[in-house]
Each structure stands twice: as C-alpha cells, then as structure tokens.
Amino acid sequence: MLFNSYTFIFFFLPVTFVIYFYLNKKRLTEASKAFLVLSSLFFYSWWNIVYLPLILISILFNYSLGREFSKHSQKKRNYSPKVLLSIGIVFNLALLGYFKYADFFIENFNFISTSEVSLLHLALPLAISFYTFQQIAYLVDSYRGETHEYDFLNYTVFVTFFPQLIAGPIVHHSEMMPQFAQLKNKVLQYHNIAAGIFIFVIGLFKKVVIADSFAIWATQGFDFERSLTMLEGWMTSFSYTFQLYFDFSGYTDMAIGAALLFNIRLPINFDSPYKATDIQDFWRRWHITLSRFLKEYIYIPLGGNRKSEIQTYSNLFITFLLGGIWHGAGWTFVVWGALHGLALVIHRAWKKLGLHMPTLLAWFITFNFINIAWVFFRATSFDSAIKVLHAMFSMDGDLFSKSKQFPHMLHYTHPLSEYVSINMVNYMFILLLIGFVLSLYAKNAHILRDRFMQMKQIPFFWAIAIGILFGISLIVIASNPSSEFLYFNF
C-alpha cells in the first residue's frame, strides 16, 4: 500500500488509528499492540502476500537468536556468542544476497567464465534491505549485551511498524522499543496528532506534487539518453537530483507524520542535504539513519579512524562501497558507492592538510559532485550513465539547441499536457528554480515540525495553508494513483 494512495489515506490509516486507540482506551494494551502488528503485516502484504512468510521467518529467526544472546549473558547456555552472531549475520546476509544479488553474481560469473548459468529472475521482496539491516543491528547489540529482554510482540512491532517498514528510516531498537512501552503513548495526544498531520501533509505534497513533476523529465531523459543535448543532459540530471530528494524525504516525512499519530517519534532522515558544503556534511544530512548504520556497524567495526591514516581511508572507502552495493545489485551502484567513498577520502585528506575553501565554492563543488554521482545511481546501465554525462559535458552540440524532439515527446507524457498547452523547457526551468529555492532556502520539514510542536497556539494561516496543500495533493493523486517511491526499489 502506498502512503500516497486513497486506500492508505482514507481507509487504512484512519481505521488503524481509531481501532488502536480504542483498544488502548479499553486498557487492552497487548491487544492494541497485536492489532498494530497485524495491521502492519496487512499493509506489507497489500503488494504481494507471497513475501509475508519471508519477513515472518526473518523476525522469528532474529528474535530467537537475540533471546539466545540474553540467555547466554545469564550463563544459561554454552554456545559461543561469536558463533551465534556469525550464524545470525550470515543468515541475514544470505537472505538479502539470495533475493537481491543472486542474478548480479550469476551475470558476472557468466561474463567472466563464458558459462551459461541461468538467471533466477527473483523478485526483490519489498523492504528486505531495510528490515535486514534493522535486525542485524539488533543482533549485534544483543551480542554486545546492549539490548533488554524484549518480548516477541514488542520485537515484532519494532520491525513491522508500518510507517517505517518499507523504506525506513532505519530505526534502532533502543529508540523504538521504549516508546512502544510508555503508557503515555497509548493515549490520544492532540499535539502529536496535529504535528503528525502537519508533517504528513508536507511529505505528501513533496512527493505527489514536487517529486512526481521532476520525475517526468528525469524518466524521459534517462530513457532517451542518446538524443540529449547539453542543456537537456543537465536538466535531466538536476531533475533526478531533485526528484530523489523530494521523493525520499517526502516519504520519510509521511512516515514520521504517520508514526506521530501513534505517539511514536521516528528519527529524522534528512536535514537539507543539498545545503552541504562538503561530502562528509552531505552524509550527515542525507539518509541519516543509513549513515548511522554504516558508521556503527561497518566503519567502526572495521577499525574506524583508530588505526593508521591509510587504514582509515580504506575503511571509509569500503564502507561507502558497501553502502553503494546495499542500494542495488549493479555496477552503477558500485561506481556510485566508490565515487562517494573516494570523495570522502579526498575530503579527509584535504582536512588533514588544513586547507580551506570559500563556502560558496565548497557548496558548488559538493552539489555538482552529488548531482553527477546521482547519474550513476539512476542510470539503468553504466553505458547509459556515460551517455547522460557525455551529453552534459559534450561541447559538440548546441548548448541551447532548440531540440524539438525531446520537449515534444515530454509534452505528451506530462499529465498537464492533457489540460493545457505548456512549453516544457520553460516549465522545467521554473520547476528547477523552485527545486533549488526549496532545497537551499526553505526550512526543512523537521525544523518546521519542531517549531510546530513548540507552539501552543497555531496561526490560523498555517491551518489554511496545510489544509490547501493536503487538498491539492489529494487531487493530484487522482492523476497519478500508482506513483511508487524510489526507495522501494532498494
């Protein structure tokens, strides 16, 4: 079920909300939790019920292993905790590897060995990358003795809680479990509901109005990368850069908003990432919960910056290479991860040298690096990425060529074209300008949320504005009812 669907907004969310708090009001707290789990599994199965057993097996396995660790700490068992942890991590990675990377490995094996092993053509189970990471973190912390005695229901709510289940934020048990246990969170709290609606509407608007508008140019640009002029190449890459940000941060805002309705605070995942003035700063602002996971469970166990400088560079590079591979099974993701790893290494070396750069120049370099690296992230093949980059940097075409074919084609794919006649190039210029202004100058959603939550009295204008944004978003959904979120693919 998509957050940006009528089914979710008009049926699933209100029904789950009402029944959950009704059960809590009747002091049936365990029943309310069980109901939340069932609702979340229903939400998950809406796409394809075939994946349901997989997530249930994964939960059961990881929970049982976590319990073994806690028994071990009480000296009830004689298993080696390291062996148990290794089994756990291998199980999780094997599950992920089988579904996500099997064909990638077979293709490359066939290519190198000229053999003809058939591809498996497995469909990627929804959310597998997210719930696998979440549970690996749980296992590692259980091994370290940092988890408490959680019961099965609590653990299942932690993994399956529908706002964060599909595409994060990647939550940590230590920040979620206590919230589900707190009694005050089982009571209707209007200030949380108001803030939840506020942030949910901002996220919905970001997704259905802004991101989906950029998607039209980005999709067409990458599909027709062979015929792009320089201008179209840049517009294509910028469009994707903004599409990805508004899509993913919009999704996260909706997740945070939906969770707040249930008095649960999810961690922030974005902090105006395109304002970053260096690559390290970017990763502190972009997909923050993934960066946190990579740091705590890959970079630090590898040695972090505790060893030699060379070793630190190597750890940084490996961490981001793995981060790239986590996003998808393809060489483009490997290249994307490697580029970011390399950029972090260069940034660290630059800092070590004590060199400085004017802020504006630093922002310009950082933003353009991110923009160019996204081309690899988005392209369906390495060759396709090169073609877009070639268009962006080629001096053999006209910069402002009146390339008729591409805007003409775009015109017919744009939903608005059915209602009004639009000049696609001018339209995209305006849209990109809005994208830059919003991502560089506007306050981001979590700042607005915090400000909103601190207010005792809300200005009337805010209610009018949010109501209108909500209404407009609902109308726009009608024009594109099946627009999926980009991070569902990862």
Partner 1 sequence: MNKKSFIFIVLGIAFLVFSILPISNYITDPSRILHHDYKMRYLKFHPHKLFLKVEYLLDNKEKYDTLVYGSSRGGFIDVSRISKGAYNMSHGFGTVTTYLHSLKVLLENGVKVENVWIGINDFDIWKDHTDNLHRLINKNSIIGNAPMYSYWLFRLIPESIKILTEKRELIETQEVTYPMERIPRARKQEHIVKKQSKRQIPAATLGYTGKFRVKEAVEEVAQIKKLCEAYHINLTVFMYPIYYKTYLSYDQEKIEKFKRELVKVTGFYDFYDLGDISLDQKNWFEGSHFIPSIGDYMIKSIQDNKYFVTTKNIDKRIEETRLLVKNMPFLEDGGIYTLDKHTDAKLENKKIIFDIKDQKFTFIKNEDFNLKYKRSYVEAVVTRNDPLIILNKTKSSTKQSLLSLSIASTQETFFQLYYKESESAQYSEASRYNILLTKGINHMNIIIPSRYINQGLRVDIARKLGVYKIEQLRLYEID
Positions that interact with partner 1 (CB under 8 A): 6, 110-111, 114, 116, 119, 121, 190-191, 193-195, 197-198, 201, 225-227, 380-381, 383-384, 387, 405, 415, 418-419, 456-460, 462-464, 466-468, 470-472, 474-476, 478-479
- Cis peptide leading into 407, omega within 30 of 0? no
Report the Cα 431 to chain-centroid distance in Å.
23
Query: How many C-beta atoms surround the C-beta of residue 310 within 10 A?
Result: 8
Q: In terms of CB distance, is 84 or 201 closer to partner 1?
A: 201
- Nearest partner of 199 among 15, 482, 470, 11, judged by Cα: 470
Smallest distance from the beta carbon of 331 to partner 1, in angstroms? 10
Q: How many CA atoms lie within 13 A of 279 on its CB side?
A: 23
Smallest distance from the beta carbon of 464 to partner 1, in angstroms? 6
Is 327 marked active-site?
Answer: yes
Smallest distance from the beta carbon of 190 to partner 1, in angstroms? 5
b/e map 162-195, b = 16+ CB within 10 Å: bbbbbbbbbbbbeebbebbeeeebbeebeebbbb
Which single residue is written with the structure tokens 């060759």? 383
How far is it, in rounded angstroms, from Cα 96 to Cα 173?
Answer: 20
Smallest distance from the beta carbon of 468 to partner 1, in angstroms? 6
In this structure, is the dihedral angle defined by the CA atoms of residues 95, 100, 103 and 104, taken in order, positive or negative? negative
Contact (Cβ atoms closer than 8 angstroms) between residue 244 and residue 379: no
Q: In terms of CB distance, is 60 or 475 closer to partner 1?
A: 475
Per-residue H/E/C for 43-111: HHHCCCHHHHHHHHHHHHHHHHHHHHHHHHHCCCCCCCHHHHHHHHHHHHHHHHHHHHHHHHHHHHHHH
**Which of these is catalytic: 172, 173, 287, 327?**
327
Q: In terms of CB distance, is 73 or 394 closer to partner 1?
A: 394
Six-digit token pair at 273? Answer: 């990432």
Give whole-number Cα distances, 386 to 48, 60, 236, in Å.
35, 44, 13
Q: In terms of CB distance, is 78 or 405 closer to partner 1?
A: 405
Residue 122 sits at φ, ψ, to 5 deg, of -85, 140
Smallest distance from the beta carbon of 463 to partner 1, in angstroms? 4
Smallest distance from the beta carbon of 475 to partner 1, in angstroms? 5
Helix axes of 309-327 and 128-143: crossing angle, nearest 10 degrees: 140
Which amino acid is located at 143 in the chain? Y
- Nearest partner of 328 among 128, 140, 171, judged by Cα: 128
Residue 251 sits at φ, ψ, to 5 deg, of -60, -45
Q: CA-based Rg of the chain, rounded to a whole angstrom? A: 24
Contact (Cβ atoms closer than 8 angstroms) between residue 159 and residue 37: no
Q: In terms of CB distance, is 127 or 466 closer to partner 1?
A: 466
Q: In terms of CB distance, is 192 or 272 closer to partner 1?
A: 192
Smallest distance from the beta carbon of 408 to partner 1, in angstroms? 12
Q: In terms of CB distance, is 52 or 453 closer to partner 1?
A: 453
Smallest distance from the beta carbon of 381 to partner 1, in angstroms? 5
Q: In terms of CB distance, is 166 or 215 closer to partner 1?
A: 215
> Which are the catalytic amino acids?
327
